[in-house]
Amino acid sequence: MVRAILLGSGYVGTYLAVGLERIKKGAVAKYGIPLSKYDLPYRVEDIEIVAAYDVDLEKVGKSLYDLGRNIFGEDYDVPETLKKVVVREGINLGSTQGLPFRTTGLEKKYPLKEAIDKLIEEWINLKPDVIVNVITTEEGTAYSSKDEAVDKILRGDAPATHVYAYAAAEYAKRTGRGVTFVNAIPTPVANNPGLLQLFEESGAVVFGDDGATGATPLTADLLEHMAERNRFVEFVVQFNIGGNTDFLALTDPGRNKMKETTKSSMVKDILGYDAPHYIRPTGYLEPLGDKKYVAMHMEWISFNGFRDSLFISARINDSPALAGMLVDLIRLGKIAVDKKLSGTVYEVNAFFMKKPGPLNSKNIAKTHAYRQLLHWLGLA
Amino acid sequence: MVRAILLGSGYVGTYLAVGLERIKKGAVAKYGIPLSKYDLPYRVEDIEIVAAYDVDLEKVGKSLYDLGRNIFGEDYDVPETLKKVVVREGINLGSTQGLPFRTTGLEKKYPLKEAIDKLIEEWINLKPDVIVNVITTEEGTAYSSKDEAVDKILRGDAPATHVYAYAAAEYAKRTGRGVTFVNAIPTPVANNPGLLQLFEESGAVVFGDDGATGATPLTADLLEHMAERNRFVEFVVQFNIGGNTDFLALTDPGRNKMKETTKSSMVKDILGYDAPHYIRPTGYLEPLGDKKYVAMHMEWISFNGFRDSLFISARINDSPALAGMLVDLIRLGKIAVDKKLSGTVYEVNAFFMKKPGPLNSKNIAKTHAYRQLLHWLGLA
Amino acid sequence: MVRAILLGSGYVGTYLAVGLERIKKGAVAKYGIPLSKYDLPYRVEDIEIVAAYDVDLEKVGKSLYDLGRNIFGEDYDVPETLKKVVVREGINLGSTQGLPFRTTGLEKKYPLKEAIDKLIEEWINLKPDVIVNVITTEEGTAYSSKDEAVDKILRGDAPATHVYAYAAAEYAKRTGRGVTFVNAIPTPVANNPGLLQLFEESGAVVFGDDGATGATPLTADLLEHMAERNRFVEFVVQFNIGGNTDFLALTDPGRNKMKETTKSSMVKDILGYDAPHYIRPTGYLEPLGDKKYVAMHMEWISFNGFRDSLFISARINDSPALAGMLVDLIRLGKIAVDKKLSGTVYEVNAFFMKKPGPLNSKNIAKTHAYRQLLHWLGLA
Amino acid sequence: MVRAILLGSGYVGTYLAVGLERIKKGAVAKYGIPLSKYDLPYRVEDIEIVAAYDVDLEKVGKSLYDLGRNIFGEDYDVPETLKKVVVREGINLGSTQGLPFRTTGLEKKYPLKEAIDKLIEEWINLKPDVIVNVITTEEGTAYSSKDEAVDKILRGDAPATHVYAYAAAEYAKRTGRGVTFVNAIPTPVANNPGLLQLFEESGAVVFGDDGATGATPLTADLLEHMAERNRFVEFVVQFNIGGNTDFLALTDPGRNKMKETTKSSMVKDILGYDAPHYIRPTGYLEPLGDKKYVAMHMEWISFNGFRDSLFISARINDSPALAGMLVDLIRLGKIAVDKKLSGTVYEVNAFFMKKPGPLNSKNIAKTHAYRQLLHWLGLA
């Protein structure tokens, strides 16, 4: 069994929990889980969500079953097994600032250090193998050293993600069990030298940053397609608009900048030159819901100077795409723990993440990252 | 120097000749030539077009310079060096049937065997390293043995492409110099067991079949993108319409079937299941010219049963895309001759061809074929 | 009340019946019914489907409720009121030739004239105000006179649609009640001088031909948009592919030609010149179902010779779009009967039909046809 | 002859001047000029650009011929007749703030009132019939009365556009000749009660605001298409990105808000309900140049609750589209002067403008506005 904790009980977390339980009962196929066609040491069915956290007052105290009901409606098959996972109160620290819901946070009830300790104690009881961070994108910077990281985190001068990362490292150190922290949002953890040092010294692993779903990996593979034909890409435009909380949050410039940064290295890394590009989350429109609209356009120079054009329009369910990847990341996280690894694993990050850590790693085409991942797993 | 002969002096051949000469004089960059960023034994500038053939009475006797003028207009920089390549009369055998131009053909002036012998003698004088077949797509079937192939070809019961392939093999055998026959059209040569045996026994090489440009390689890489995420592709639609002779020819059902066959294996080979698909050249509309319009649509099932949609619209210059690939195929053809290879080279075909020979080879994603090609060349 | 008979019980007929009953019970809004926001003499709820016909052995004898169940599945709300409409056996005459289902037909059991008489007698009992033809598209030609029409129809040298049209005219003549025949398929009725004369002399009305749904009216309005800015349209491409019986039927060249003809007049009528175009149903792909995929592309010349490009991708539910229009056509048909009209009504046809009758009528932009229709109705 | 003055000598102004001269010499057809197929009292060839203004130091003192050379390059046919129109120094007042070029401005050399007087005197000599405002979009608000308008303008508390509008009104009043001020940018003039009163009392006419080119009129006509079928539009997304100065200027939030406002009334005015929408200029990407990329997506509910989707991708030359419309607006402006009109003309604005004045006018579909315009002209 693989024991997983969810930080954040929004769309992604709920879709993940519901999808996993539906797979277990045979109600749905294992599509959207990249490695499900290979034999890994752990099956998809081996994953157990042992706890979920949030700071939204509408969620804390409710079960994942209740949250599934809210999202999918009364007619949908939400497995009753999710009734036993009740959402716990997490760390807030302004991670939900500006968003239209009433929130709580452990640090509002206890001094920060005490709040963190409470969290670690809970985790010691829950015995997670993997802790998955899917809270709303928040602003955050990198630390140059472990000391700077710990200092700022304990002083309250850090985003919730970094507090969670610190707690995970502490949990690993105190229990000696090891743990993998999967950072699926852009706030830098695997690309954060200070936190990475902390993980290495604590015997913990981090996968990150920013789960590579949606249009960005598609753009990466399209750019590779151009590069392999030596076409000269003149420009790339990629718009994204959605109606879920993540897009609402990204209308805030600070959060948006987080997202842009994770996407920007790709163009130069793959093409070998920094083709002019406009690639970013563009807006929020409520009725689009979780199924975002992506519009892309690129032009390139072909043989003898001729110019070609490509236009892409897509509707992509944002949360399920990420949830499917998390299923593998949880299994890979447990494998990393079993292997007694610490720090981060580029081979995992390069395929699954928009900004693969460690800092300054190359952002290669996803299709080549996939081959490297299979190789790392001994599958190719 | 690499000496190349063009069979067919239409758009592709003319674009190739014009582009090469413009590169030689520094008028245009080497975009659209996949391997131009690597160090191969032969540079792009080393290629010399030593002869060109056609059966269109409007072309035979004119120089490639004249043809370039006709296509690109008076204001375009068509290099004067092309004045010295005068289009020679080739084999017809009905390859232009139904197309709206008056044609000739060596076999109309001489008995077929004599016509073929005249051709081979010309080639012995021209000393080609590579012979490139870019005549209009014609119907043709595979032969089970060399004997069947030779018998049908000499009886006149074969398309022009097969006569040219036979002449290339004979040329290699008689001179002992070796030669590579690049078959850039769908009529089966590399996928033709009888012809392949002929090439093997004659010390000649064939690359083929059907140059992989335009929408098909893009579709291949997109399907690989889906497969690597274990998304279940429900269907694929791909329309193509253009205004060049190739599209006009494909309005003929027999020729169209040739094209469809080369595209059909891809879906199953890459996805692992035969997703329902409609992938074919769809029509001819004159004002589109050589810049075809491609429309694609696919849907797939993501995690927990959600359905995503993708739509692609593109305008792609058909002939330059193929011409750029031919630049590399000519250089690779010379390398194969230098290596004294015979038969075919899957590593070359898998990347450059829509239906890579030999018969029943796997039609893998182009991005993986690219890696294999670099490996075969000792470049990765 | 408006009493309507359906000829053809496929997707369109079933969607119409199910949608009407769901509107009556308040389960769904009146979207997709063009005139539902205006006050007409008859409300949507006033329509009663009094009978339905078909020749598919899987349908004859089943109720519209059963057919709704087959299409929409067990979980869908198919109103039980449809249990009382049992599909009757209609005229076949090869209208289903080549389609993959076993068929019957009144003319197989009785001599043709007797079969027609039986039909008319049924109608005399059913007292329809409007008869709606939505059988599968079939080949058919126009007749120059009533006599030619009647002669060919009674000799069995006519498609099922023409037999039905004849029966409708006879029904009107014998009862003196008047009736409107709505021809929603391309087989010419309103554009058929012989049949039109027959309707005029029988005191019956025909609306037709070929219900204007999907991409064609959109193209019409886009072309008008270009014309109103005096942009010079260089070409128009419009592909359509679907997975319903209509698209399957259109893979037959004869039926396809019917469809093409109804679309071809539009370009010249709206632009004032015949811009090169490729507009036609392109193929059949089963998993698309009733929701067709439409791809369009056009380019035009703007001020000072600049060239602009437009690409459209759409997924459109084919049958509901037509069903919504039929709701209005049935109400307008009854209004025409009340007004004691005979022959056809261009103002109705121009908005609702792809090829508005009578023959050689102008195919104007739908948006202007809409204004004319409102004017005819005294609503604008 | 129609004498026109250009305020702003950027892309639009230069394209207009170059296109007009090329039409005069027969080098290009009159495409993109909406009314060029009708017989108006003034021909396209009757327009004379008698002066042009700007504040960019790279433009002032150069001829329109020089500016044409800069934009179109050495090989392009820029008519030499444009050498005689030398760009004059205009009013700046911060209209170019934040843009990357060095600027000047009459008000920097003279006290504002004196600067305005100099301008009016120049115009009295130039005798313009029409003054066209195509300066870069700038922020600006409406005035409730003529007095407030004049007061703020003379105090320097107004944007350049308003100063120009005031000068035009004064010119009309002092000369008694009448004049039409065409405001092709979003800064409110025709929608500005204070300025409108000023025009009315001065015997001048204003057409405005914000020339309706590109994606917005297309969206308007598409929404009308939906409304006429009573489809329920669930949402509309429309992205725009370009590489000209206008898009660069719109990255400034204040200017962008001007643009958004002119587009927002359309959805509700046409559909009858305010469908959720995201319609705005999205970004700047230099290599797109003047040919902007537009991406649109809408979904709607059809009959019986089915949902359809539409995606549009387009590349549209921004400046020529507007320049073509200005040709007609100049001719219509002269017609209005001939008719001794004052104030504004809704029939002109409704077709040609994104936000037709006067304030609170209905923003109807362009296709219906076109009919009304023809009617106003006595042409339909």
- Per domain, the residue ranges of chain C are 2-211+320-376, 215-317
What's the mean pLDDT in C133-153? Answer: 95
Alpha-carbon distance of D157 to D164, in angstroms, equals 13
Say yes or no to pLDDT of B259 above 70. no
pLDDT computed for residue A248 by the predictor: 87
Look at B304 and A323 and tell me if their CB atoms are within 8 Å: yes
Within 8 A of A283 by CB-CB distance, chain D residues are 237, 278, 282
Domain D215-316: CATH superfamily, name plus number: Dihydrodipicolinate Reductase; domain 2 (3.30.360.10)
Query: Tokens in use for D128?
Result: 């313009």
Phi, psi of D62 (to 5 degrees): -85, 160
Alpha-carbon distance of D54 to D7, in angstroms, equals 7
Alpha-carbon distance of B122 to B120, in angstroms, equals 5
pLDDT band with cut points at 50, 70 and 90 for residue C262: low
Position of tokens 């739908």? C366
Say yes or no to pLDDT of B260 above 70. no
Within 8 A of A311 by CB-CB distance, chain C residues are 311
Pairing verdict, β C291-301 and C307-317: antiparallel
More confident position, A265 or D378: D378
Alpha-carbon distance of A12 to A18, in angstroms, equals 10
Residue in B with minimal Cα distance to A296? B312
Q: Is residue A343 within 8 Å of residue A191, measured between CB atoms?
A: no
pLDDT computed for residue C256 by the predictor: 72
Look at B365 and A367 and tell me if their CB atoms are within 8 Å: yes
Interface test with B, best of A303, A310, A318, A351 (most B CBs within 10 A): A303
pLDDT computed for residue C266 by the predictor: 87
Say yes or no: D304 contacts chain C, CB-CB below 8 A.
yes
Q: Is residue C29 within 8 Å of residue C76, measured between CB atoms?
A: no
Indicate the residue type of D284. Y
Beta strand segments in chain A, E = 2-7, 47-54, 87-89, 130-133, 180-183, 205-207, 232-242, 277-284, 291-301, 307-317, 343-344
Residue in D with minimal Cα distance to B311? D311
pLDDT computed for residue C94 by the predictor: 82
What's the mean pLDDT in C319-336? Answer: 97
Alpha-carbon distance of B253 to D270, in angstroms, equals 47
Say yes or no to pLDDT of C261 above 70. no
Residue in C with minimal Cα distance to A76? C75
Sign of the torsion formed by the C-alpha atoms of C27, C32, C37 and C42: negative
Position of tokens 């850039």? B184
Within 8 A of B293 by CB-CB distance, chain C residues are 237, 297
What's the mean pLDDT in B117-121? Answer: 97
Indicate the residue type of C349. N
Alpha-carbon distance of A16 to B262, in angstroms, equals 40
Burial degree of D237 (CB within 10 A; 0-12, 13-18, 19+): buried
Mean pLDDT, chain C, integer: 94
Alpha-carbon distance of C219 to C239, in angstroms, equals 11
Distance from CA of D241 to the nearest CA of C (A): 15
Mean pLDDT, chain A, integer: 94
Q: Is residue A189 within 8 Å of residue A162, measured between CB atoms?
A: yes
Say yes or no to pLDDT of B357 above 70. yes
Give the pLDDT confidence of C160-182 residue by residue, as tens digits: 999 999 999 999 999 999 999 99
Q: What is the CATH number of domain A215-317?
A: 3.30.360.10
Give the pLDDT confidence of C355-380 residue by residue, as tens digits: 999 999 998 999 999 999 999 999 98
Any chains having at least 3 CB pairs less than 8 A from chain D are A, B, C
Residue in A with minimal Cα distance to C312? A313
Q: Is residue A214 within 8 Å of residue A354, measured between CB atoms?
A: no
What are the CA-CA distances from residue A158 to residues A92, A132, C304 (Å)? 11, 18, 58
Position of tokens 């409409």? C85
Q: What is the largest CA-CA distance in chain B?
A: 68
How many beta-carbon pairs below 8 A join chains B and D?
A: 3
What are the CA-CA distances from residue C325 to residues A77, A266, C36, C86, C151 (Å)? 36, 49, 10, 23, 33
Say yes or no to pLDDT of C259 above 70. no
Within 8 A of A313 by CB-CB distance, chain C residues are 313
Look at A230 and B35 and tell me if their CB atoms are within 8 Å: yes
Q: How many CB atoms lie within 10 A of CB C363?
A: 24
Option in B30, B228, B291 nearest A370 (CB): B228
What's the mean pLDDT in A314-319? Answer: 95
Alpha-carbon distance of C90 to C72, in angstroms, equals 24
Say yes or no: A19 contacts chain B, CB-CB below 8 A.
yes
Alpha-carbon distance of D36 to D43, in angstroms, equals 8
Say yes or no to pLDDT of B58 above 90. yes
Pairing verdict, β B180-183 and B232-242: unpaired
- Of the candidates D167, D162, D203, the one whose C-alpha atom is nearest the C-alpha of residue D185 is D162
Within 8 A of B311 by CB-CB distance, chain D residues are 311
What are the CA-CA distances from residue D86 to residues D6, D9, D14, D62 (Å)? 11, 10, 12, 6
**pTM for the model:** 0.94
Say yes or no to pLDDT of C217 above 70. yes
Burial track D181-198 (b if 16+ CB lie within 10 A, e otherwise): bbbbbbbbbbbbbbbbbb
Paired residues of A313 in beta bridges: A295, B311
More confident position, A107 or C214: A107
What are the CA-CA distances from residue B44 to residues B34, B40, D359, D368 (Å)? 11, 9, 65, 59
Distance of CA B53 to the CA centre of its chain: 15
Q: Where is average pLDDT lowest: A247-256, B317-326, D242-251? A: A247-256
Say yes or no to pLDDT of A80 above 70. yes
Query: Tokens in use for C289?
Result: 């179902």
pLDDT band with cut points at 50, 70 and 90 for residue B264: low
Indicate the residue type of B80. E
What's the mean pLDDT in A210-220? Answer: 89
Look at D29 and C308 and tell me if their CB atoms are within 8 Å: no
What are the CA-CA distances from residue D243 to residues A228, B90, D240, D269, D285 (Å)? 28, 50, 10, 31, 5
Say yes or no to pLDDT of C109 above 80. yes
The residues in C 231-290 lying below 8 A from B, measured between CB atoms, are: 234-235, 237, 239, 241, 276-278, 282-288
Give the pLDDT confidence of A65-75 residue by residue, as tens digits: 999 999 998 88
Say yes or no: D76 contacts chain B, CB-CB below 8 A.
no
Q: Which residues of chain D have pLDDT under 70?
A: 258-264
Angle at A127 between CA A121 and CA A130, to 5 degrees: 110
What are the CA-CA distances from residue A23 to residues A79, B302, D237, D321 (Å)? 10, 13, 35, 55
Paired residues of D88 in beta bridges: D53
pLDDT band with cut points at 50, 70 and 90 for residue B199: very high
Pairing verdict, β B307-317 and D277-284: unpaired
pLDDT band with cut points at 50, 70 and 90 for residue C260: low
What's the mean pLDDT in C262-272? Answer: 83
Give kind and range of the element (H or E) at residue A11.
helix A11-24
Q: Is residue A57 within 8 Å of residue A102, measured between CB atoms?
A: yes
* Local structure of residue C144 (DSSP, 8 states): S
Alpha-carbon distance of A283 to D295, in angstroms, equals 13
Alpha-carbon distance of B150 to B198, in angstroms, equals 8
Residue in A with minimal Cα distance to B290? A306
The dihedral formed by the CA atoms of D297, A314, B32 and B349, expressed in degrees to the nearest 10: -150
Alpha-carbon distance of A157 to A93, in angstroms, equals 9
Look at D309 and B309 and tell me if their CB atoms are within 8 Å: yes
What are the CA-CA distances from residue D335 to residues B197, B301, C266, D40, D171 (Å)? 81, 61, 34, 9, 18
- Of the candidates D40, D127, D133, the one whose C-alpha atom is nearest the C-alpha of residue D335 is D40
pLDDT computed for residue A264 by the predictor: 67
- Of the candidates B302, B172, B316, the one whose C-alpha atom is nearest the C-alpha of residue B246 is B316
* Helices within C73-158 (DSSP H only): 106-109, 112-126, 146-155
Paired residues of A86 in beta bridges: A63
DSSP characters over D41-92? SS-GGGEEEEEEEE-BTTTTTSBHHHHHHHHH-TTS---GGGGG-BEEE---
What's the mean pLDDT in C11-23? Answer: 97
3-class secondary structure, C148: helix
Domain D2-211+320-376: CATH superfamily, name plus number: NAD(P)-binding Rossmann-like Domain (3.40.50.720)
Within 8 A of C313 by CB-CB distance, chain A residues are 313
Say yes or no: A340 contacts chain B, CB-CB below 8 A.
no
Say yes or no: B321 contacts chain A, CB-CB below 8 A.
yes
Give the pLDDT confidence of D238-294 residue by residue, as tens digits: 999 999 888 888 777 777 776 666 666 789 999 999 999 999 888 899 999 999 999
At a CB cut-off of 8 Å and minimum separation 6, what does A294 contact? A214, A215, A238, A239, A240, A312, A313, A314, A315, A316
